[in-house]
Chains A and B, each alone.
Chain A
Amino acid sequence: MNTVIRFLFWQNVFNINYWIRLLVEFVCKGDFIKFKIIVDAHLKNWNKIRFFLNSYIDKLNFNMDEKNIFLLACEEVFDNICHYAYKNLSGKIEFKLEFKDKIAKIEISDTGVKFDPTHFKYLEDDIRKPSSKRRIGGMGIYIINQIMDKIEYQRKHNQNYLFLFKILVK
């Protein structure tokens, strides 16, 4: 029997040592699972965001490698949005993760300036350059392209939407 579990969670603690604002929604219906969180786009928040993502991914019984692939993809996108879409200014990032029919979909959106990471490519030639000629940075999107099965970008309503897809083995 299908069940739906849904809850909203707000944490809004303005404390110099511990602050993060999160809106979390979790839905579970049969083999369909999705959750979303909205976070402040600050690099220093990554550890806390990872903690929340991890706690939901744990419900899916992924092995360590699968978990790390998802966390890695989310971190690389988060890092790029902070640097390029918001240019290190404040803003929000929304993560939506959906799992259905052995396909995992990650949707990440922000309201920063237009930034299409699918056009920001680290080329195969760059990867094979000697270390002295390699540039520091730009590898995040390349990694996402390598570890995920499909990546799509849309710009609508003045927002960036990035969609990442992964076919699960199990």
Chain B
Amino acid sequence: MVTEKITIDQKVEGEQVDIKISGRIDTQTSPKFQNRVNEIFDLEINKVVIDLQGVEYISSAGLRVFLYIKKRLEIKNPEIYLEVKNVIPSVKEIFDITGFSDFLNIV
């Protein structure tokens, strides 16, 4: 049996949300990712940190979720800081060629 290879851990501490993702963010797993992050838009927060240390692959389906998060946060409050960390080089390359590195605050 082939399984959906993604795990998402989300925790809120004060006004910061930490989202830790492992696996692949593709056309099959990105709906789960989007459903999960939908929970954060009702919270009173000022920072969202997405940890991609365990992410080995991302496709345009995954990029759409990142753009969705960014747009939703901008509508909610443009001051909310979105940070993406621990990005492996092959995933960073996809962020770079699609221009996502310009607005994702990758550290």
- CB-based contact B2/A48 at 8 Å: yes
Q: Is B74 at the interface (CB under 8 A from chain A)? A: yes
Q: Is A30 at the interface (CB under 8 A from chain B)? A: no
**A68 in complex: contacting residue of B56, B60, B67, B102, CB < 8 Å:** B56
Q: Is B97 at the interface (CB under 8 A from chain A)? A: yes
A134-156 contacts to B, CB under 8 A, are: 134, 136-137, 139-140, 142-143, 146-147
A71-B57, A76-B59 given; A43·B27 CB < 8 A? yes
Q: Which 5 A-B pairs have the closest CB atoms?
A: A127-B99, A140-B60, A139-B60, A131-B103, A131-B70
Which chain B residue shows the least CB distance to A51? Answer: B2
Task: List 4 extra interface pairs beyond A68-B56, A136-B64, CB under 8 A.
Answer: A50-B2, A65-B90, A131-B103, A139-B98
- CB-based contact A127/B98 at 8 Å: yes
- CB-based contact A64/B56 at 8 Å: yes
Interface residues on A, range: 20 to 34
- CB-based contact B90/A136 at 8 Å: no
Enumerate chain B residues within 8 angstroms of A119, measured Cβ to Cβ. none
Cα–Cα distance between A129 and B57 once the two chains are bound (Å): 24
Enumerate chain A residues within 8 angstroms of B63, measured Cβ to Cβ. 139
Chain A to chain B contacts (Cβ below 8 Å), 29 pairs: A43-B27, A46-B26, A46-B28, A47-B2, A47-B3, A47-B4, A50-B2, A50-B26, A65-B90, A68-B57, A72-B57, A72-B59, A75-B27, A75-B59, A75-B61, A79-B27, A127-B99, A134-B67, A134-B99, A136-B67, A136-B68, A136-B71, A137-B60, A137-B64, A139-B63, A139-B64, A140-B59, A142-B98, A143-B98
- CB-based contact A75/B74 at 8 Å: no
Cα–Cα distance between A18 and B28 once the two chains are bound (Å): 15
How many A-B residue contacts, CB cutoff 8 Å? 73
Enumerate chain A residues within 8 angstroms of B102, measured Cβ to Cβ. 128
A43-B27, A46-B28 given; A64·B90 CB < 8 A? yes
Q: Is A11 at the interface (CB under 8 A from chain B)? A: no
B59-107 contacts to A, CB under 8 A, are: 59-61, 63-64, 67-68, 70-71, 74, 90, 94, 97-99, 102-103
- CB-based contact B99/A46 at 8 Å: no
- CB-based contact B28/A44 at 8 Å: yes
Q: Is B43 at the interface (CB under 8 A from chain A)? A: no
Cα–Cα distance between A125 and B97 once the two chains are bound (Å): 12
**A18 in complex: contacting residue of B1, B59, B90, B103, CB < 8 Å:** B1
- CB-based contact B57/A78 at 8 Å: no
